[in-house]
Amino acid sequence: MKKQERADHINKRLEELYPVVPVPLDHKDPYTLLVAVLLSAQCTDVRVNQVTPNLFKLADNPFDMVKVKVSDIENIIRPCGLAPRKSKAISTLSQMLIDQYDGEVPNDLEALERLPGVGHKTASVVVSQAFGVPAFPVDTHIHRLCQRWGLTNGKNVVQTEKDCKKVFPEDRWNKLHLQIIFYGREYCTARGCDGTKCPICREVYPNRKKAVATKK
């Protein structure tokens, strides 16, 4: 198969496997999603979902969050890791949302990326999942799988994102990135597959014998 043929096959197979994909992080609006995604850096979605109920019980909007001591935020989110940095970012970005956006989360990538603790991937998740703006957030699962599937040879997530956007239809980006994440967790894990074992890896490269080493 050529690259585009592989992409088309993967697109079809993932839609068959995951016709409905829930957003992994529990939230009720753009603000709670933004905070949850920020907390998910170097942390599992499961752990974030265990922590956010207590945080959002205390404050689930920027106006209430700025009234909470940073130390109190830090104590609640400690299980997510990087608590000092994340707690300060949550407090500061909440104040910025009040000062610059009347307490609303902007639906613009560049505006989101100017908020503390919010990188390109976090901003991409928020605009795609909260506002339906086409984006293709790339995490470690997607980076690893797209290399195994021969869709990119990029050594970083920035190049992988660009390559994925070229081969997948824009109207599929928001759902597809979630489908790849779900597939990676279920079938094509870091240790469970090396590019030769899971169903899609075998389908797109039926004659592959050697393992695929992920480029970081």
Q: What is the DSSP string of 53-113?
A: HHHHHH-SSHHHHTTS-HHHHHHHHGGGS-HHHHHHHHHHHHHHHHHHHTTPPPS-HHHHH
Count Cα neighbours of 70 within 13 Å in the Cβ-side half-sphere: 13
Q: Which domains does the chain have, with CATH numbers?
A: 3-21+136-204 (1.10.1670.10), 30-131 (1.10.340.30)
Which active-site residues does the annotation give?
121, 139
What tokens appear for 51 in the block?
A: 């922590």
What tokens appear for 65 in the block?
A: 């969050």
* pLDDT on residue 29: 98
* pLDDT on residue 122: 97
pTM > 0.85: yes
* pLDDT on residue 113: 97
Average pLDDT across each block of 10 residues of the chain; the chain has 216 residues. List them in order. 97 98 96 98 96 98 98 98 98 98 97 97 97 94 94 91 97 97 95 96 96 84
